[in-house]
Amino acid sequence: MIDIHSHILAGIDDGALTWNDSLIMAKAAVEEGIHTIIATPHHQNGRYINERYNVERYIEEFQLALREEKIPLRVLAGQENRVQPNLLKQINIGNVGPLYETNYILLELPSREIPHYTFALLAQLQLAGYIPIIAHPERNHRIKEEPEILLELVQRGALAQITAASLIGEFGGPIQKFTNQIVEANLAHFIASDAHNMLERGFVLQKAYQFIRNNYGHDVYYMFFENAELLLEGQSVHRLKPMAVKQKRLFGWLTDRNG
């Protein structure tokens, strides 16, 4: 498996604290069946600044440690970039980069709002040749209240990445319900771990993919699985026709899924 969103690099954001923690996460990732991880530390989110050259330097050090420990994990450079009006400028001067060597760029929205410049920024990025991916939209309060915002983002060319733990209920029933509504509306294109540590926020990708297979069938399962591979190859990913989210009562949704 390929994990396109993780916080495995030590000491630079709210993910792994030490290199030993990073190595523990790496071993767990391999046991999970992950062979490639894109490290995506937070950048410009108000707490952390992780410019591209620093991320690449940390990854070089980490890969040396992985080889010494004989851990067969490939770690690639990325960033989880908070949406900013000057993001394209930051890309042009080299402070911000895409996921690995692709034209896909991972974007983080504030947890409670959609900045007024968001749609204009996405248009700028696309005109410059980048494909924006919205990280964990299921945890954005404004999108939960108005899911048509996510629909419009996707209709305008953005992609969306849901979190494995959200899908299987580790962030609670309401977020699990909304995450599955996003999947049902064809508004999700990637599943990633967003792993931060092995105590509270691990990888759980196997469980998430199995959940997709059991609840949505092989076609949807392979779409998510292949999209991560296509992204890494810099190719166009699978997209299904986006639809409006159908609002359902939580207990009704659980009955539908488990009954």
Residue pLDDT, tens place only, 51-93:
999 999 999 999 999 999 999 999 999 999 999 999 999 999 9
* Residue-wise pLDDT tens digits, 10-27: 999 999 999 999 999 999
**Which domain, by its residues, includes 146?**
2-258
User: What CATH number is associated with residue 94?
Assistant: 3.20.20.140
Q: Name the token pair of 3.
A: 């994990």
Whole-number Å distance between alpha carbons of 152 and 234: 24
Rg (CA), the chain: 17
> Other CB atoms closer than 10 Å to residue 136's CB: what's the count?
23
Number of domains in the chain: 1
The DSSP 8-state label assigned to residue 130 in this structure reads -
Length of the chain: 259
Task: Report the DSSP beta bridge partners of residue 38.
Answer: 76
Percent of the chain with pLDDT over 70: 95
Q: Name the token pair of 32.
A: 């999970």
Instruction: Give the CB-side neighbour count of residue 70, counting CA atoms within 13 A.
Output: 0
Residue in the structure block whose two tokens are 């404004």: 142
pLDDT interval class at 199 (50, 70, 90) = confident
Whole-number Å distance between alpha carbons of 94 and 97: 7
